[in-house]
Chains A and B, each alone.
Chain A
Amino acid sequence: MNQLLASFLIGAIAFWGAFQLYPKIFQEAADEIAVLSLEDTIRHIELELAEIAATPGDTAGLILDTVKVELSAQRQDEENTTAELAVPVFDEASIGVDTTRKLTRGSKITVAFKAPAGDELLADGAHGELDLSALVLAARQALLATAKDDPVLLPKSVDIEVHFVLARSVKGEGKIKAYVIAVGGSSSQLDTGGNKIVLGYVNPLFAEEKKDSAGKAVPPI
């Protein structure tokens, strides 16, 4: 029940944030197509995951099981031998980004994340742009805060979804940032123009209970 409550809270935040940003995003066409190095992108995500895994604190027995990255690629540069993806990039102003905010925390990765509106509910002091690890840790903290209420339930699995869009800085820095538009939401309308990272956490005791939702044969384990 507690887990459901946490999921509900995160979901509610996600939908509220998405509701605020959705019209602005999808009424605007992408301003340009940018090519991202898939290798660099994955490397950044790995660094963030390493940070999450190494951060001290109660994990409620949940261990990272799967990572899914969905990018809304527009075309693939077949002539380029490196693994790159072309993704839509919006202007910061078109998605309502407050550019007066300064980056006060986070790592030196190229991809930075901005918390959705209402991020105060996720973690104290989690204002401004956030890196992925801080965002996920905040969600974990919120989950744990509810999971410790009686009756205490053992979490079996949690999927943390981070929906984001890419935007180029209006200051002409030439830097592409990733702005979070929802955390925990799985609304289908977000899939049309956004990108998504899903971190699936499971308790090893219940890992075998995970079923393939697509109905494919489940690999024996």
Chain B
Amino acid sequence: MLLFGSLRASCLALVGVLLLIPGEPARAGKVGPPRLVEALRAQPGEIYDYVVSFEEDETPDSGLAGQRETLPLKLLNGFAMRMPVADAFELADQPGIRWVWYLHPDEATGTIRVLQGLDYTVATLPLPNLANLSLGPPTKFYRTEPELDAPVQRALGAAAERGLIAIVAIGNTGEQAPGYVNPWSAPPWVISVGAWDHTTNAVWTGSSTAEPDRVDAWPDVVAPGVDVIGPWTSTREKSVERRAYDEANDRFRTQIPKEEQDKYTLMTGTSQAAAVVSGAAAQILRYLNGFIVEHKTSFGDALFELEAGPDRMSDYDRQAPRLTGTATPNDSGGMTYSYTLDEPWRLVKQILIDTAIPVPGARSWQAGAGLVDRDYINAQFGAYGSEPPQLLPVKVQ
């Protein structure tokens, strides 16, 4: 089904050349978010947290913050700071300021920590690489439409430019807030993951779903996310309820020896699905790295082709614009996908989409391109070895 072929090799190629710039988010004025500007103007004396970003050719000048404390944010070429609303508007008018973004008190700390974490990750990991973001802002900040100008979304874009591929859980609000998704999952330069329920053979009802007409907020793919076996911390005992739930599960009892069952547990959610997709994406990235080094491929060169039968075609394939490569109908009723060396996030995301298995009964706004098949990915992209799971010492200074 999958046919790899080196179509052309040229010059020296390093993994690092897999970098390109994702589309710059649309500007929305200097103070954001635009939808809250008037409400903020009505509270000139209130003190809130903001992210301040400078123009790309400017060096962030913390002197503009006066005596106030600032936290540097490298990916956004700026800093975070706390100040009265009136000062934020005044700062936004200063030369060299790109934008000033207000953070609600309930999202400020988490948002700033994630921005610092992305800075740290990009600065310390060899790139290209992956980041599993099984997190998002509090659910009351979930949105029906992508807000690509917001700081985390912009930082994820800047990280993607540098080779960091973000896999983001779409959220677990499918039952109580249909149409609302984790806003960090929405940018086109991240991979948005929903959860699949193998017990019902359907999209997990808790998996957040966008409005059917908001293609830009759909999940890209789904992956098993119900009763996923994962590690349990050694620092505390399971509750009675959790222990009973685990031990009532046939798969858990079968796969985990009795004496090891305190070390594992069953968990459900799009975070678990995002972890599964992260493993698949890591395998694809490993293959791409090996292929590029072996064939000395340069940016823009053809890589390989992939033959997909009609069983891997979905509505998503016909509605969502391709990120990279070409898709040509073949004689079998399926598609022939041709890939060229492009930005890492485009290649990995498009391959995940192209190889996903369409899920019967689920619409694209629920399941995206379909179910990621980790075994299939391992088999088809295993020529350069397997990508073992690993824990990285990520911390925020």
Chain B contacts for A47, CB-based, 8 A: 236
Task: Tell whether B48 is near chain A: CB-to-CB under 8 Å.
Answer: yes
- Per-position contact with B for A30-65: 1 when CB-CB < 8 Å, else 0? 000000000000000001000100111000011101
Chain B residue at minimum C-beta to C-beta distance from A105:
B240
Indicate if the CB atoms of A221 and B140 lie closer than 8 Å.
yes
- Are A55 and B241 CB-contacts (below 8 A) given A61-B176, A205-B176, A205-B177? yes
Chain B residue at minimum C-beta to C-beta distance from A63:
B139
In the bound complex, how far is the Cα of B173 from the Cα of A202, in angstroms?
A: 12
- Per-position contact with A for B168-196: 1 when CB-CB < 8 Å, else 0? 00000101110010000000000000000
- The stretch of A10-18, A129-137, A182-190 in contact with B is A129-137
Instruction: For chain B, residues 135 to 186, give those with C-beta under 8 angstroms from any C-beta of chain A.
Output: 138-142, 173, 175-177, 180
In the bound complex, how far is the Cα of B205 from the Cα of A215, in angstroms?
A: 38
Indicate if the CB atoms of A108 and B140 lie closer than 8 Å.
no
- Per-position contact with A for B259-286: 1 when CB-CB < 8 Å, else 0? 0000001111000000000000000000
- Are A56 and B245 CB-contacts (below 8 A) given A204-B177, A217-B43, A220-B36? yes
Minimum Cβ distance to chain A for residue B95 (Å): 27
Chain B residue at minimum C-beta to C-beta distance from A54:
B267
- Are A51 and B48 CB-contacts (below 8 A) given A63-B139, A220-B104, A221-B140? no
Task: Tell whether A203 is near chain B: CB-to-CB under 8 Å.
Answer: yes
Task: Tell whether A207 is near chain B: CB-to-CB under 8 Å.
Answer: yes
In the bound complex, how far is the Cα of B240 from the Cα of A206, in angstroms?
A: 33
Indicate if the CB atoms of B173 and A204 lie closer than 8 Å.
yes
Minimum Cβ distance to chain B for residue A81 (Å): 19
Partner of A55 from B40, B106, B175, B242 at Cβ < 8 Å: B242
In the bound complex, how far is the Cα of B266 from the Cα of A106, in angstroms?
A: 19
In the bound complex, how far is the Cα of B235 from the Cα of A169, in angstroms?
A: 23
Minimum Cβ distance to chain B for residue A39 (Å): 15
- Are A207 and B267 CB-contacts (below 8 A) given A108-B236, A219-B105? no
Given contacts A106-B237, A106-B239, A204-B180, 20 further A-B contacts (CB under 8 A): A51-B239, A56-B241, A61-B176, A62-B176, A65-B106, A107-B236, A108-B236, A109-B236, A131-B239, A137-B241, A204-B173, A204-B177, A219-B48, A219-B105, A219-B106, A220-B36, A220-B40, A220-B102, A221-B36, A221-B140
